[in-house]
Amino acid sequence: MKNHIIIYFAAVLFVFTSSLIAQENKENRFVDSLLNRMTLEEKIGQLVELVTPNSVTEKMLSNGNVSSILGIKDADIANELQHIAVEESRLGIPLLFTNDVIHGYNTTFPIPLAEASSWNPGLIEEACRIAAIEAASNGTHLTFAPMVDIARDPRWGRIAEGSGEDVYLGSVIAEARIKGFQGNDLKSKSSIGACAKHFVAYGAAEGGKDYNTVDISERTLREIYLPPFKASVDVGVVSIMSAFNDLNGIPASANYFTLTEILRNEWNFDGLVISDYNSIPELVKHRFARNKAEAAAKALTAGVDMDMAGDDMKWSVYAPHLDSLIKNKIISEKILNESVRRVLRVKHRLGLFENPYVDKDFYKSNMPSFSERKNTALRLARESIVLLKNENNLLPLKKHLQKITVIGELADNPHHPLGPWNTAPILENVVTPLDGIKNYASKKTEVEFIKGCNVEGNDRAEFDRAITAAKSSDVVIMVIGETREMSGEAASRTNIDIPGVQLDLVKEIIKTGTPVVVVLMNGRPLTIPWLDENVPAVLETWFLGDQTGNALAQVLFGDYNPSGKLPVTFPRNVGQIPIYYSHKSTGRPFNGNDKYTAKYLDVDITPLYPFGYGLSYTDFEYSEITTSKRNYNSDEIIEVSVTVRNTGLIDGEEVIQLYITDKFASITRPVKELKDFTKVLIKPGETKKIKFVITPDKLSFYNIDMDKLVEPGEFTISIGGNSRDVISKSIIIND
């Protein structure tokens, strides 16, 4: 019997593998047959993306001089341009339409840093499925997302666009987003291609200054910045975007080591690499290329397949220069052919040759209903909210309050909840914090709104009105933070305090004695020590998108018990940066009092709030950790369990986090690293037994010889509801 089962599964595996090989051969035959018919001009045309639709002429399309266009957001326009490319060009190669669908297309979900706070990859994937079908129905074939850059410097505005500081969480979320966008069938009309960006280490920009220099060791590159890209490639991402920054002296958009040796030779990535916007001509600004012709040669040779040009052909460097570079044998046509092959392969994988046009009828019966999309946005928004403080259980608010005063420009402006990077948002769909509070408060409750002050500037004219209103209120809800323009691209800040006079207004309102709830709306960790010390309740809501107000109100009034956990450390002040949980021990770890230890004279070395931190309206108690045994071999699976009890009075979801510490190694290792997590709902009084499986790869690292392996020795397994408050148990890995 057993033999029969083995034979059966072997046969199934053989058939599956054979079909994959056959599919790949068919694809390669198609691509090669097309490539062999292309002229040099047509080949070069396949490597050019133009950024704005209105710069594209019919002649460019009928000559096959443009391969891709960024920014088409209308099915009819897409079909019109596609018709010219497919029906009027010599070979009929379809156009690839791209857009930045970062956190939603028409339905705007929370910004990625907020979504990461949900620690719910399944829900993030669900949101990306909705974004994909909305985008595809409007002509988009590929999104320039997910941004998978690990970011440990909140001065960097683009920390808003990623999943925070952690490699494991960032990799899990990258996979979820790509699976959401690409679905199970890339040729499906409900799927779009994804693009993992920005390759690589863009988030390590010196000083948190956007576009700035990155200089890190190969070990740090491989341990921290590459893994989310590797996870993206392993889950089948069809494209990668090369970054603006220079990396260890070589610009990322001309870096043969990363783009070819790692991405192609080590990882076998066979999708396409597209440059970030003008990052190829910027090789001249890097002073890495003397001119644009040399920039084109260096980028193509390094492995950048497609040139994301600027506003029109004059911005492209591949279009005007590759012809002469090839004819003068400065670069071989073989290299050009390989890039063209990858572009054609991705277009084939996306089904553009079979279905180049938007089938509008398909979306009439396949688009999820508005309420379904709204419901996903609401669930993801409320799960993205992190409760940072709740003194004396001020929250949740009672529903039958007499008067609530809502203060802050951000409370009543539908523009800001959208956060940075929107595609085709529908402003009238945005529920502001004020809308949400009015929707959920009882009809008998008076809700008064006073702006109080702007996010920026020092206008205090409305302070008195706000103070007067606060004095006659049961509670004041202050929505403060950043405008949506203060994070995202080209939005680095050296001062990450609360901008303007918002904090001064909070201080005045606190003086009234009326209880205050501060709701933060921001795209990065802010330095908020005064709030932590003086305000009874603080919620981190980031930018939550369309359903901001409803999600916030459900948390404020207790219809949803907050479950969010920080994906990034909150520093006490900007001087602590970089500060992250998986730091090294150093030879003089601070022990609380010794002078000559790794510490500051003027601030505690601990963060204000650690990675993985977030409170609930209930409490959770962790039991002893149990492991299947104490001693393991380096190739063994380690089974771990822990029991978690809800000791409170209401349901609560807890993100149970598992960290590993390698106690001794051939190189210095982080004090701990996240290696697994699970989010579970636990009812009041209920105890749940949670099991984890630690596979050898979760213990491996790049050792002193840069070999990735498990070194024998003692490891500590730590489990808890954040990276600081954990229970631990040691195990031994034998030789």
Q: What are the residue numbers of the active site?
A: 276
Which of 80, 489, 504, 686: binder of ligand GLC (CB under 6 A)? 489
Q: What mask of x and - would describe binding to ligand GLC in positions 101 to 140, judged by CB under 6 A? A: ----------------------------------------
Q: By C-beta, is 134 or 223 nearer to ligand GLC? A: 134
Shorter beta-carbon distance to ligand GLC: residue 461 or 490? 490
Binding of residue 622 to ligand GLC (CB under 6 A): no
Q: How many CA atoms lie within 13 A of 413 on its CB side?
A: 21
Listed residue (624, 622, 626) closest to 645, CA to CA: 622
Contact partners, residue 194, CB within 8 Å, separation at least 6? 142, 143, 145, 146, 177, 178, 181, 182, 232, 237, 238, 239
The least CB distance from residue 244 to ligand GLC, in Å, is 7
Q: Which is nearer to ligand GLC, 116 or 195 (CB)?
A: 195
Contact 651, 684 (CB under 8 A): yes
Q: Which CB, 197 or 379, lies closer to ligand GLC? A: 197
Residue 198 sits at the vertex; the CA angle it makes with 196 and 201, to the nearest 5 degrees, is 120
Residue 462 CB, nearest distance to ligand GLC (Å)?
37
d(CA 228, CA 233): 9
Report the C-alpha gap between 588 and 591 in whole angstroms: 8
Measured distance CA(38)–CA(44) in Å, rounded: 10
435 is an interface residue for ligand GLC by CB under 6 A? no
How many angstroms separate the CA atoms of 345 and 322, rounded?
A: 21
Contact call for residue 144 and ligand GLC (CB under 6 A)? yes
Task: Please report, as residue ranges, which positions from 665 to 724 form the binding site for ligand GLC (by CB under 6 A).
Answer: none
* Shortest distance in whole angstroms from residue 276 CB to ligand GLC: 5
Write down the least CB distance from residue 717 to ligand GLC, Å.
37
Nearer to ligand GLC, 178 or 719 (CB): 178
Does 654 interact with ligand GLC (rule: CB under 6 A)?
no
Q: Does 482 bind ligand GLC (CB under 6 A)?
A: no
Is 632 a binding residue for ligand GLC by CB under 6 A? The answer is no
# of chain residues touching ligand GLC (CB under 6 A): 7
Find out whether 197 and 140 touch, Cβ atoms under 8 Å. Answer: no
Residues of span 70-89 touching ligand GLC by CB under 6 A:
70
Q: Any contact of residue 485 with ligand GLC (CB under 6 A)?
A: no
Per CB under 6 A, 156 contacts ligand GLC: no
Nearer to ligand GLC, 192 or 404 (CB): 192
Helix or strand or coil: residue 35? helix
Q: Least distance (Å) from ligand GLC to the CB of residue 584? A: 31
DSSP 3-state of 68: strand
Minimum CB separation of residue 145 from ligand GLC in Å reads 8
The whole-angstrom separation of Cα 114 and Cα 104 is 13
Q: How far is the CB of 218 from ligand GLC (least distance, A)?
A: 24
Backbone angles phi, psi at 384, to 5 degrees: -90, -5
Q: Where are the alpha helices (H) located in 221-332, listed in sequence order?
A: 227-234, 256, 282-285, 292-302, 318-327
Nearer to ligand GLC, 144 or 701 (CB): 144
DSSP codes, 514-571: S-EEEEEE-SS----HHHHHH-SEEEE----GGGHHHHHHHHHTTSS------SS-B-
Per CB under 6 A, which of residues 267..326 are in contact with ligand GLC?
276-277
Q: CB burial class (10 A; 0-12, 13-18, 19+) of residue 195?
A: buried
Three-class DSSP labels, 111-123: CHHHHHHHCCHHH
Residues between 177 and 236 with contacts to ligand GLC, criterion CB under 6 A: 197
Nearer to ligand GLC (CB atom), residue 202 or residue 440: 202
Does 424 help bind ligand GLC (rule: CB under 6 A)? no
CB of 43 to ligand GLC, least distance (A): 24
Binds ligand GLC by CB under 6 A, chosen from 100, 540, 653, 711: 100
Using only C-alpha atoms, the chain has a radius of gyration, in whole angstroms, of 27
The residues of the shown chain that bind ligand GLC, judged by CB under 6 A, are 70, 100, 144, 197, 276-277, 489
